[in-house]
Structure 1
Amino acid sequence: MTQSPVLPGHMLCLDDYAQGAKSRVEAGVWAWLEGGSGDLSARKREAEALAAHAIVPRVLADAAGGSTRLRLLGHDLAHPVILAPVGYHALVHPQGELATAAGALDTVLTVSTMASRPVEDIAHVAEGPVWFQLYTQPSRGDTLALIRRAEAAGCGALMVTLDTPVQPAGLSAMRAGFAMPQGVRAVHLDGITAPAPVAGHWYNPVLNPLTAAAPTWDDARWLREVTDLPLIAKGVAHPDDARRLIDLGWDAVALSTHGGRALAAVAAPLRLLPAMRAALGPDVPILLDGAIRTGADVFCALALGANAVMIGRPQLHALAVGGSLGVAHMLKLLREELELTMVLAGCPTIASITPAALMPV
């Protein structure tokens, strides 16, 4: 965090940013950033799912006028790569999410409930649209206060995380002895009511108050009633759950394992994508994250039914290496890789990318 930024010209791909970040952040922070739950099998399956597909190029396609542009939840976007919600950007850069927002060119920045800078300040410096990722709180009053805060800041959507009533400890961070440094905190949780003790029968007593406060279908209905912002259901895996949420008036689905930090044995989002698209039809937006590191990865996700992808760790890699300029350059690299992939695959527009462009390997 104290080193001078690296010039983006030295970074040629997202892996270069990852390697550069490893040498620039503290070992404990790196263990937290790159870790996940259990044996990291969720992360491994994400990479394996992408590697299981190859692109089948079509020749003689007219690529004149090709574009990566799309419209998503009311936003006209230059490309389908969105910055996923990731907490505690101040761990890798003194300006935290403010620096990320300044580099988030031509894309959506999703501000985490666990952000280390206030959403109002982030939205003020953001170069593009801002969404807010919401963890429902034990008190509906606290949840509503977060929603109203996001609305007042001008956020264009709420991405509600539904599948992590508890979050497993990251073994690598525990082994590294990681603890949140003094001065780095989730500022949106200041003044939030902690889960109250409740009676229960879990062997681990920590689960009793957490599971008692976990969101339910009643909360899903209530959330739709209290805001007019588009609601994105993050972490939904089963098509029946997704369809039920859409029927309740929710607007989109985000397939995600939260960087492999939730259930270690969960399926890779890419594996879930075709069934989710079939269940929701062509008109419901589906976002996807999970090991997206190249333009070909983005292409694969779009071919299988995603409208856009989200990237998590790469934004902190780029932030640690090059600050705001690093974030902007990282996004530029990924967009250019996607454009090149589309041209070589004979798919000049986002709409022309279909399942027929892929084959299993």
Structure 2
Amino acid sequence: MKAEHYVLPKLKKIPADVIAIGDYERLAKEYMPHGIYEYIAGGAGDDITLNRNRSAFDAIGMNKRVLRKFTQGTTAVTLSGDTFAWPMLVAPLAYQSLLHPEGELATVEAVNAVNMGMLTSTLSTVPLEDIAAQQQTPKWFQLYMQPDPEHTLDLVRRAENAGYTAIVVTVDAPVSGLRNRQQRAGFSLPSSVVAANLVNYPTSKTQSLSPGQSVLLNGLMADAPDWDDIQWLRQHTKLPVWIKGISHPQDAILASQSGCAGIVVSNHGGRTLDGLAPSIDLLPPIRNAVGEDFAILLDSGIRRGTDIFKAIALGANGVLIGRPVLNGLAVAGALGVAHSLTLLQQELELAMALTGCETINDITLDCIY
């Protein structure tokens, strides 16, 4: 069914047989038109990285300790001065009105209910100000730097004025990945779904190309941000700046040296370059490169609370949750998102209880094998 002709259901409830994140993933195909499902579920190329994100987590085992004292158990973490009740935030997820009439506001309703932080996407279908006005938990803003620096600066000022407390710059998708699954499905965004934050910014013109020059290498990439742009951004905001999309230890070092507050180790959920290593495999060498004190989040492949536990044991301070949120939103609206996040919270607590970890700081490398 073409996305243009799809009417989103308004009333949602949790199906009786949904008891784990995997159940939402299984049912999602029934609640989305084929094109939208392929856009959400698909990765780049042959889905090699997408699939390895999961298999890499499954290959990690856990060690169990017993008879440990539990007197002040907590899952709280502090990142860039914000205290989060859980070491996980909702990832920046674009175009959520594809899945629910209220779009990002339905997700905010769920985030408030389960006391979790969230990153608002530059490509949200609800203005960043409206999202911030509804969100009661720590709110961070994900930034795609725009070709025109004035437009980038305006987005940052809007985020500051709306009460966002950190800027997370996505840097690993200067151009779109090779999304073969959505191409085969013939998916394109319907005209009714727009990036609400960008409607007032006219499209910037790219530089003229000489004969024989590449539209991609000499055109689009000429507009892509570089480390000088990160320095420029830090000079124009007092908010902590994070870099999302780090997959190489040397880039992690550069982010630290540039004064960034932290990084997100990510392969964009397998949606950019097929063949990249799983994010969880990238984490240990990156943590070793930047030391113990530099803040690191991880995304790509989280489907269980035990995955969050494993990521923390390998050096992450927390994780971002992506597709499980979208699948929950599609299947059961705000209730589905809240339920999905609650499942992850409960599974993380259970993993901590059964491995003898009273706090997040107790989850260390010797907790896994």
Q: Please classify the TM superposition score into its range, dividing by the shorter chain length.
A: over 0.9
Q: Which residue of 2 aligns with 1:270?
A: 280
Give, in angstroms, the shift of residue 358 of structure 1: 0.8
- The match for 1:30 among 33, 37, 62 is 37
TM-score, normalisation: structure 1: 0.95
Where does 1:22-101 land on structure 2 (aligned, <5 Å)?
Answer: 22-101=29-108
Give the letter for the 2:312 counterpart.
L
Are 1:13 and 1:330, in contact at CA under 8 Å, matched by a contact in 2? yes
Contact 2:178 2:272 in 1 (8 A): no
Task: Tell me the secondary structure at the aligned position of residue 335 of structure 1.
Answer: helix
Report the Cα distance in structure 1 between the residues aligned to 2:367 and 2:210, rounded to whole angstroms. 51
Partner of 1:130: 139
Preserved CA contact (<8 Å) 1:83 1:315 = yes
Select between 76-85 and 317-326 the one with higher mean Cα deviation. Answer: 317-326
- Can you list the C-alpha shifts for 1:110-131, whole angstroms capped at 9, x where unaligned? 1111111110011111131211
Query: Which structure 2 residues correspond to residues 166-315 of structure 1 after superposition, within 5 A?
Result: 166-192=175-201, 193-199=203-209, 204-315=214-325
What code does the residue aligned with 2:259 have?
A: G
Q: Match of 2:9? A: 2
Unaligned residue ranges in structure 1 (runs of 5+) = none
Task: Return the match for 1:348 from 358, 361, 367.
Answer: 358
Aligned partner of 1:75: which letter? D
Aligned counterpart, 2:4: none
**CA 1:110 to 1:325, structure 2 compared with 1: closer, same or farther past 3 Å?**
same
Q: What is the SS of the residue equivalent to 2:225? A: coil
**Distance in 1 between residues matched to 2:335 and 2:306, nearest whole Å:** 23
Q: For residue 160 of structure 1, what is the aligned residue in structure 2?
A: 169
Q: Distance in 2 between matches of 1:322 and 1:56?
A: 35
Equivalent of 1:14, from 17, 21, 26? 21
Deviation, 1:202, is 7.2
Amino acid at match of 2:83: D
Deviation per residue, 1:56-104 (Å, 9 max, x gap):
1012111333221111211111111110011000000001001111111
Q: Deviations over 1:211-254 (max 9, x none)?
A: 00011121111011001111111111222222222222110010
Q: What fraction of aligned residue pairs are identical, expressed as a percent?
A: 43
Q: Report deviation, 1:18.
A: 1.6
Would you say the 8 A contact 1:200–1:208 is kept in 2? no
Paired with 1:202 and 1:13, the residues of 2 have a C-alpha distance of 53
Q: 2:222 is matched by which residue type in structure 1?
A: A
Mapped to 2, the partners of 1:77 and 1:86 lie a distance apart of: 19
Please list the CA deviations of residues 180-216 of structure 1 after superposition, one character each: whole Å capped at 9, or x if unmatched.
Answer: 1121011122133334143268775244321000111
Q: C-alpha separation between the residues in 2 aligned to 1:130 and 1:91?
A: 22
Give the aligned partner of residue 5 of structure 2: none
**Equivalent residue pairs, number:** 359
Residue identity opposite 1:291 in structure 2? G
In the TM superposition, what whole-angstrom CA distance separates every residue of 1:234-288 from its partner, at most 9, and x where no partner exists? 1112222222222221100101111111111211111111111112222211000
Inter-partner Cα distance in structure 2 for 1:4 and 1:121: 22
The Cα of 1:15 is off from its aligned counterpart by 1.0
Structure 1 residues 99, 201: CA separation in 2 closer, same or farther (over 3 Å shift)? farther
Q: TM-score, normalised by structure 2?
A: 0.93
For residues 201 and 109 of structure 1, do their structure 2 counterparts lie closer, same or farther at Cα, with a shift above 3 Å needed?
A: farther
Within 1, Cα distance between the matches of 2:64 and 2:81? 32
SS in 1 for 2:183: helix
Aligned to 1:114: 123
> RMSD over aligned Cα, in angstroms?
1.6
Q: Which amino acid in the other structure matches residue 246 of structure 1? A: S
